């Protein structure tokens, strides 16, 4: 059998060429090489498909609630936290606190004096919120739920079963008479000899 080169550039197998016709009528059995741009677009499509198809993400990869919070929300939340703290501990309503804060800002002679009545509650509110979060975290970490306590079995006086002993797991093996290769004991063997 004579081997030859097929029209697609490959060697024949036992004198036979695999025939695949493309849309242009040419005999093909290979894929057309892709350009760099085609390969790059396919790679880009993977990322787009990953975003569209809600590709799996671990919890630490997902955005947190704080990631979407705006600066004015953070400032107002910290000041409100401070206002609530002062209202609960000292009994001064938040509306009265705001009036004094605005009044002292208007009468201040420097820009720092105007900003300070709002900056101090903002920083103290942030510190109060952080300490409250730490307190909650400490309480959570002290919760013994789910801890695994193991005890050594020797102190629990658990005795091995006969099956455990036979398999070599603790204790002494039950004594059985030694047998010869024919399956008889040495005492039986001596009895046959006599």
**Tokens 């009265």 belong to residue:** 96
Q: What's the total number of domains in the chain?
A: 1
- The pLDDT, as a whole number, for residue 127 is 92
- The pLDDT, as a whole number, for residue 135 is 92
Q: What range defines the domain where residue 103 resides?
A: 66-139
For residue 115, tell me if it sits in a domain: yes
For residue 161, tell me if it sits in a domain: no
| Terminal Cα-to-Cα distance of the chain (whole angstroms) | 82
Q: The pTM is what?
A: 0.40
Instruction: Give the DSSP H/E element, type plus range, for residue 90.
Output: helix 71-90
For residue 185, tell me if it sits in a domain: no
For residue 33, tell me if it sits in a domain: no
Tens-binned pLDDT, residue by residue, of the chain (194 aa)? 677 777 667 777 777 776 655 555 555 555 667 777 777 776 665 666 555 556 667 777 777 777 777 878 888 888 889 998 899 988 988 888 888 888 888 888 888 888 888 888 889 989 999 999 899 999 888 877 777 777 776 667 777 788 888 887 765 555 555 555 566 666 766 666 66
> What phi, psi does 110 have (nearest 5°)?
-125, 160
Q: What's the residue count for the chain?
A: 194
3-state percent breakdown (helix, strand, coil) of the chain, nearest 5: 55, 5, 40
CB 15 within 8 A of CB 1: yes
């Amino acid at each position: 059998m004579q081997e030859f080169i097929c029209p697609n550039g490959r060697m024949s197998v036992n004198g036979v060429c695999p025939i695949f016709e493309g849309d242009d009528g040419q005999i093909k059995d290979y894929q057309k090489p892709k350009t760099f741009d085609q390969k790059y677009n396919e790679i880009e499509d993977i990322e787009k498909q990953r975003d569209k198809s809600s590709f799996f993400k671990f919890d630490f990869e997902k955005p947190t609630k704080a990631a979407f919070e705006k600066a004015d929300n953070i400032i107002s939340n910290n000041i409100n936290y401070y206002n609530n703290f002062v209202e609960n501990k000292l009994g001064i309503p938040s509306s009265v606190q705001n009036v004094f804060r605005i009044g002292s800002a208007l009468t201040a002679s420097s820009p720092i004096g105007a900003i300070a009545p709002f900056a101090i509650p903002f920083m103290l509110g942030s510190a109060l919120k952080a300490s409250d979060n730490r307190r909650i975290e400490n309480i959570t970490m002290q919760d013994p739920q789910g801890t695994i306590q193991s005890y050594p079995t020797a102190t629990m006086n658990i005795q091995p079963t006969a099956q455990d002993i036979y398999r070599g797991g603790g204790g002494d093996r039950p004594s059985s008479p030694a047998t010869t290769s024919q399956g008889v004991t040495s005492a039986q063997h001596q009895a046959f000899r006599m």
